[in-house]
Amino acid sequence: MLGRFRHVVVEGPIGAGKTSLARRLAAHMGAELILENPEENPFLPRFYEDRKRYALPVQLFFLVSRVEQARRLAQGELFTPSTVADFMLDKDLLFARLTLDEAEYRLYRQLYDGLKPQASAPDLVIYLQASPATLVERVKRRGRSYEKQLNEAYLQDLAKAYSEFFYHYDSAPLLTVNSEHLNFADREADFQLLLQRIQDMRGAREFFNLGA
């Protein structure tokens, strides 16, 4: 059903549900699943306690990890039938701009430009949106200890940064999904609706919204 999309990326702010959807899509497609695995970043718990102090090491760890994953993906494109990822390297600058001061950002940008591999764009990007209040509720529900410091103000800034980033994004076909009233992990009907919406895509930028 999704055979024309060999490389799919699911993106969105913290709590949007990108990892859960990426898992379902990979299982449905029989695709290789590539996850960013934030739990592997040793600086992340300290970042949520002291963002200014640990913003740069958090970003650098993610950059090195994601660059390595992107390189493996680029090298294996001819041998892997399909892949689904819950991150895209292009959006790392979004987090860097949000959390780093000017001097740190300049350093980060130099490293980013030097390390970023030359890889083909995804065949489809699915961008999940939700209100900051919903993001907070979902983050609390999953109960990760290091995320207890997250508040609605930070998630509101993050959601706004994502919105601005994808407003200008044109490197791949983009399906923006309002996930406020959708649960792809637990409701099969919602997942099937999304699959049909993907199948029906004809334009480069489309929107999927299901009211309450």
pLDDT in tens, 147-159: 777 778 888 999 9
pLDDT-based confidence at residue 1 (cuts at 50, 70, 90): low
Better-scored residue on pLDDT, 55 or 69:
55
Q: Which of 37, 137, 144, 131 is nearest to 87 (CA)?
A: 37
pLDDT in tens, 72-91: 776 665 456 788 999 988 88
pTM (two decimals): 0.90
Q: Per-residue pLDDT averaged across 171-177, rounded?
A: 95
Q: Per-residue pLDDT averaged across 170-175, rounded?
A: 94
- CA triple 50-143-154, angle to 5 deg: 40
Kindly report the length of the chain: 212
50: part of which helix (H) or strand (E)?
none
- CB environment 6-19: b (16+ within 10 A), e (fewer): bbbbbbbbbbbbbb
Q: Per-residue pLDDT averaged across 31-51, rounded?
A: 89
pLDDT-based confidence at residue 212 (cuts at 50, 70, 90): very low
Q: Where do the domains of the chain lie, and which CATH numbers do they carry?
A: 7-209 (3.40.50.300)
